[in-house]
Structure 1
């Protein structure tokens, strides 16, 4: 499942148990308001097949259900416990699976806190196979948990569609079930829907019956054996477009009238599926693969890999020619590549328990990156791997980090497992290990893993053993070092001595942290690649805390050449000076990696933060567009640290604008014929950043174009519409805000309507931000947009947004999917520079979160403390550098 949510304003990047627990853990006890729901069920009964019949009542947000579960009793028992939430049971009975023998009624006991329903029988059930049949009813939600409704505007009026979202622990909201990944079973689904609406599930429909009362019953083919969280159902007024790849029908499903906006997604899905059929060596096994688009949004995810029926919010699947950008196009492809990778890593082979979630998400992250670069080399997205690694390292460098393979006991902990460590660090570790064993050996290991574990469940070592066998090269120890312990190795280049045409490096391994300068370093076996400028790369393993290698050539030497390693590199001042002098000659990927290390090491106090500004000055205006995009982002971050100090911020902004303005002059406002795709993305990034830095020329030009759009069609080209609107919204006065608000109210395209409400929440003006917060708690923006609006306010006014959310928690909770709440509220405070915010976050956690569910709250506290430290202890060195260099 892809969890990174993109708006028109910003891209938010922001235990040691390696195997699944064999028995249900003890229930945690805590007096906090949020219950720590114990997740695992007893292992004395297991399901093999579900027959499910659903009758949704969309208008009343309720549904009726019937399910018959074929199950095996593995040891005598008088009870069967499964997971269920917000359900009322009318009847339950058990009969032998053979059909011979009398059915017996069961008493049903519901434990709302544990999210379980227990069926009790008068006599112990003997070992054997049975069918447990239930009639029940449940609730349809308005946030993306379980079976939920999405309301959206069209030119024909308001519409409502239904979708499901079950990962990680919400299948229990629609079906009483064993809602755990290791309890795989087959499913047959039947749904009664309004005639004229389309019903969608994992498998094709096999029978459609007109019931004669405005309703139609649709029955779908039996699914393969799969985890409960991968089941999918949807109904609504949809269109579907298809293409064929061999025997597989590939489809996209959208609201009526916009299916043409999914053409790129459909074409991309075919290309990706063809590539994966070859890469995995195991062909996609289902007869169809749909991607289903939904209006709206979630604070938890943007797409979900349901087997044969991927769910994706419209903002990550559709491309509207009226306003979609090159970034949107690349995101559509990348997310599709991520979710289709899950059809193998996650769906065909599934982690045994959420401890090994990274087997799904880290692999899909890596696979999407690899595949995007291979199938669209013109985008040059290989540099994105460095940006992803930086996101992981930012999270991994504080005390609240966790291993890639993590200990999960509760529903809340499982939800919190979907983070940058699982996704980005997991993907970075795979990239490093693939570079160590070689592409062919890695792929052979993956193919063998798929064949050995198809339709089953695994732990991380199952993958490592297959890769190690294929490579004939030991990787188990390296893999364990990077997945079973947290943190980031730091390779220090102690000396670099040149003699007889080669450079000898002496290396030491420590640990990089942002908040524990005296921490005793952990030990890793680190694959290191070093290369002199213009020379050949050399590999070694740094283990036992030190190492050395000889590198051909005597020029500046880059450690972590090619940037496949997951570690920081610290150079001596002399070595750094040498690399800085030759910076323009480095490959773009090494420039980006060096800048990432220099930025992080400088803010952590391991070298001068001004070193980063030296690299900015050393970067030619004609450098790779993605290098300048990264520089723009980091200069914008430094600008944020100066908030509240007008004089110092003005001086820094003058420097930052002076660096970016010449680059923007080369790019310009208007697209040029034959322009490379990365340049299109850089244009929007520079406009946004220069606006954020207060560049009067850029702000004035954006306002001019906005005002002229009704009389000059060329003033606001489609590729710049969202960018220009975002600049205008950020610097809006009350009259302009009202004008944008009226546009949002009038907009009938859900994709653009949602963007406009986000933009209304991005104002730098505190009074307008307050108006946006109040608007968010009305029905006007739509049930799934409100939480995003509050988050958008937090990007400019974190204290205001956090305090507002705390004061209106009951109302906000209704607008945040339950999977996100424990991370949503602390996330509002992440950008704060106010030390008082630490106590506020801690108070929230103590009052509302169980002790085992406070990881995100603790991380937010660590981030605020770190930001305050950077402002107080690092900015003076930046000020001194600016003064010296005329800033």
Structure 2
């Protein structure tokens, strides 16, 4: 999956509320009444009762006793359940419902620490029937028969269920007999109940479940198709002001249990057969093909779709979608989208089969399913989801309109398609045994998206872009002391959600890339192939992968008997952070001294001195200039200090370690080597002798080493002077990322003009190269298009006059164009900078014009550009209005709330507005979003990125305290970011100002 942080919530079902009301009503009706005679005369009377009356009275008495006994039994067994600390026990009488004291348990944790299922039962097959109502209250009903095998003698069946209505009479358990027939008599159920803090549904039996035997659990259930973008959810779109509904699924990580009762853990694989009812005018797609369709017996204009049985897979990969979409196909590969957007799916259909074929060859494992469907949903929380055979996408990650969408959009579609198709092997065929190793899914898919994009479009130079997009990006997060290990133990849905972050995705992909280079491509691929073949249809841990790669490496002579891939890679997956290697010459010798220490931005007192890594060492010198060989020359073992003897290194003018930045570490040098490298870069004729990825590495390393106080900002800023003649996309992207941080620190200061003057000077040559122009030609160099967008955005942000005036001119031309919705004269790759700059320097008129275009366009990519640009205004009241519209649920989709907050937070004025709005409205925001993502965490990250004073830090911490936020890892990381920014201002601001005064003053 491309990613998401999704918190969970609990709802008291409507049926449960109705139950409470009906129960009280029934009690009052059952109360007997008596009549008092009015006469005062008394006399004796003889009563006689007929035999018939006597029988009826006795029968009534017996029935009453049975009914009372049944009620007492139900509530007595429920009352006998004792809640552990943090548990919310939900009992069953007629429906699953919350206990009456639930409202008083708000201080209890939402989840138990450990929510793993017992190991006594494993599922084998699911047979699922669903009847959704795609209008009205959007309810659904269904049934599931789960065939299970008993692994240990036991008396209960524990599975998952969340926000489902299940009545006592709707649960039955049957034993499977020798001939695969079911015993006619169901097992006797003692009681059944929910454990809310575990999301468990427990069936306790009088009869023992015998080890080795198989049983079928039959459950009928109901629920609501919610709009919180998780589980079985609904979304909509409009056609000529008519609302069209779509029902689809998002189950990763722990939300299959919201759609049907199940054993919702990744290792508990089973086969699935689905039967789904739908309106006749719609279609249903799922993991497997439809085998038959027939008329529904009881719902008018509904039909049943029956799907083929799946291969063994995890519950989180089950998927289905009901829509009126159109589709186009190429063989067994189909793409689905709104009818008016299906043409935009042609690009995905053109690259999808090519990537699938490439991956089959790369892994040497055939794709095992009979078909693949990809569907672009109008509303989707993640970027995409890799459900086996039915991949679901946000529209912007699957749809691309040539001539109307940006080059970045085309690249993103290819990358996300590659990412999700790679999951069909890594994640779907072989699945992590538990979420602690989710990086095996996401790291591999994130790495393979670059490999697959490079295969279908080598001219994009994706492998160079990996350095700045993934590795250098995650370096910043992983430099926090509050980062976490790649293989991070997690125990409940909250913690599982938290690790779907840049560490699992980007760091995971970076260490896989490092491993592929030190094992060599051929050994790496052979090891992966054997791993996938031997572990197919089962679950695995990272140690399983290490075993296969070690065997292949030893068979190829790459590793000796005493070394294993596990020994090396455990230092990267089971330790937090990464090292910086300080490399220096020894005077009058051939010895080169290497010293490793964990790289963190915080004060050195926070460093963990016990962390050391196995580090693959690659290097070249000013004489060799070999930037192609990425196989390690030697290794730095797991020790603090290490020395190597190398005459070339000791005598050459300069050397560079970590070729193409294939190793996941930073490199620091002695001052003489930094000065020699800087001198070479300043040579306009020879600086390109250093590979683009390594020029980007030098910029990123030196700037971050200064940021972390490993060297002076004088050394770092001196190296950036060479950018005056740099025109490469990758080095400039590294530079812009690093200067964006300094810009965010300086922008509220009185010396910001010095930084602007310096950067505008450095930009002059590359700005003149890219110019303010755009071609709609499909043949233009995509790297030039990407670079132009980066450079123009930076230039306009810094106040470059031509950039600003050209942006305003292009936007005014659009305003004056007849029918601006059909005719946009602005080139697609200029629109981002033009829209933002024109709105920034415009008035309410320009803002309203852009918002109207947003409402009218049907192109998802164009909507995304406009949403981002609308946050560029400098008018606080417009930004407040924009944020209010963002959570109003009228014009802006729930999935796009984060884009709105990110856009508003991207300016100085906007960040103050965003934080103020969040502080005053966080409860409303949480309610609107369904408390379903760590959504507040994400919004807080946007709203605090420029905070760098003690006052702002205190204000932020006061908000956290008043809002009673848990100090979980995401919050800790945000607080640490602000703390390090405050510390950075104290340590570095004045020295950078002095350097800028010298540099700008000399021009």
TM-score (normalizing by structure 2): 0.82
**Distance in 2, Cα, partners of 1:714 & 1:237:** 30
Superposed displacement of residue 375, structure 1: 2.9
* Equivalent residues of 2:443, 2:505 under 8 A apart: yes
Q: Which residue of 2 aligns with 1:364?
A: 445
Q: Which residue of 1 aligns with 2:115?
A: 39
Q: Equivalent residue of 1:582, what SS?
A: helix
Q: Which residue of 2 aligns with 1:539?
A: 633
Superposed displacement of residue 710, structure 1: 5.3
Q: Label 1:750 to 1:316 Cα distance change in 2 as closer, same or farther (>3 A).
A: closer
1:599-656 per-position Cα deviation (integer Å, ceiling 9, x unaligned):
11111111122433323321353532222233233323322111222x3112211221
**Distance in 1, Cα, partners of 2:303 & 2:849:** 45
* Equivalent residues of 1:149, 1:162 under 8 A apart: yes
For the pair 1:124 / 2:231, whether they are aligned, the reply is no
For the pair 1:479 / 2:569, whether they are aligned, the reply is yes
For the pair 1:373 / 2:454, whether they are aligned, the reply is yes
**Distance in 1, Cα, partners of 2:954 & 2:904:** 21
For the pair 1:243 / 2:319, whether they are aligned, the reply is no
**Distance in 2, Cα, partners of 1:866 & 1:627:** 26
Superposed displacement of residue 477, structure 1: 1.3
Q: Which residue of 2 aligns with 1:740?
A: 850
1:160-219 per-position Cα deviation (integer Å, ceiling 9, x unaligned):
211110111111110111111011111111111111212111111111123372212111
1:742-775 per-position Cα deviation (integer Å, ceiling 9, x unaligned):
2233334455335433432343332221111111
Superposed displacement of residue 675, structure 1: 3.7
Q: Label 1:320 to 1:256 Cα distance change in 2 as closer, same or farther (>3 A).
A: same
Q: How does 1:380-529 map to 2 (within 5 A)?
A: 380-387=461-468, 388-472=470-554, 473=559, 474=563, 475-495=565-585, 505-518=592-605, 519-521=607-609, 522-529=611-618
**Distance in 2, Cα, partners of 1:31 & 1:531:** 61
Q: 1:206 aligns with which of 291, 304, 308?
A: 291
Q: Which residue of 1 aligns with 2:756?
A: 653
Superposed displacement of residue 882, structure 1: 1.0
Q: Equivalent residue of 1:657, what SS?
A: helix
Q: Which residue of 2 aligns with 1:280?
A: 363
Q: 2:124 aligns with which of 33, 43, 48?
A: 48
**Distance in 2, Cα, partners of 1:724 & 1:379:** 25
* Equivalent residues of 1:416, 1:823 under 8 A apart: no
**Distance in 1, Cα, partners of 2:769 & 2:998:** 28
For the pair 1:804 / 2:917, whether they are aligned, the reply is yes
**Distance in 1, Cα, partners of 2:387 & 2:646:** 49
Q: How does 1:610-649 map to 2 (within 5 A)?
A: 610-619=714-723, 621=725, 623-645=727-749, 647-649=750-752
Q: 2:929 aligns with which of 796, 816, 819?
A: 816
**Distance in 1, Cα, partners of 2:427 & 2:275:** 25
> Bigger CA drift: 612-621 or 634-643?
612-621
Q: Which residue of 2 aligns with 1:86?
A: 163
The root-mean-square deviation of aligned C-alpha atoms, in Å, is: 2.5
1:502-532 per-position Cα deviation (integer Å, ceiling 9, x unaligned):
x753222222111141324311121111111
Superposed displacement of residue 62, structure 1: 2.0
Q: How does 1:182-221 map to 2 (within 5 A)?
A: 182-211=267-296, 213-221=300-308
Which structure has the larger Rg? 2
1:800-831 per-position Cα deviation (integer Å, ceiling 9, x unaligned):
32342243233212443613336334423440
Q: Which residue of 2 aligns with 1:723?
A: 833
* Equivalent residues of 1:304, 1:312 under 8 A apart: yes
Structure 1, unpaired ranges of 5+: 6-25
Q: 2:977 aligns with which of 863, 870, 877?
A: 863
Q: Label 1:407 to 1:810 Cα distance change in 2 as closer, same or farther (>3 A).
A: same
Superposed displacement of residue 4, structure 1: 7.7
**Distance in 1, Cα, partners of 2:954 & 2:150:** 51
* Equivalent residues of 1:533, 1:586 under 8 A apart: no
Q: 2:379 aligns with which of 289, 293, 296?
A: 296
**Distance in 2, Cα, partners of 1:446 & 1:323:** 40
Q: Equivalent residue of 1:785, what SS?
A: helix
**Distance in 2, Cα, partners of 1:308 & 1:153:** 28
Q: Label 1:610 to 1:302 Cα distance change in 2 as closer, same or farther (>3 A).
A: farther
* Equivalent residues of 2:901, 2:939 under 8 A apart: no
Q: Label 1:334 to 1:604 Cα distance change in 2 as closer, same or farther (>3 A).
A: same
Higher strand share: 1
* Equivalent residues of 1:32, 1:846 under 8 A apart: no
TM-score (normalizing by structure 1): 0.92
**Distance in 1, Cα, partners of 2:473 & 2:107:** 31
Q: 2:893 aligns with which of 769, 775, 782?
A: 782
Q: Which residue of 2 aligns with 1:581?
A: 679
Q: Which residue of 1 aligns with 2:310?
A: 223
Q: Equivalent residue of 2:905, what SS?
A: helix
Q: Which residue of 2 aligns with 1:2?
A: 2
For the pair 1:96 / 2:175, whether they are aligned, the reply is yes
Q: Which residue of 2 aligns with 1:19?
A: none
> Bigger CA drift: 257-266 or 825-834?
825-834
**Distance in 2, Cα, partners of 1:532 & 1:469:** 34
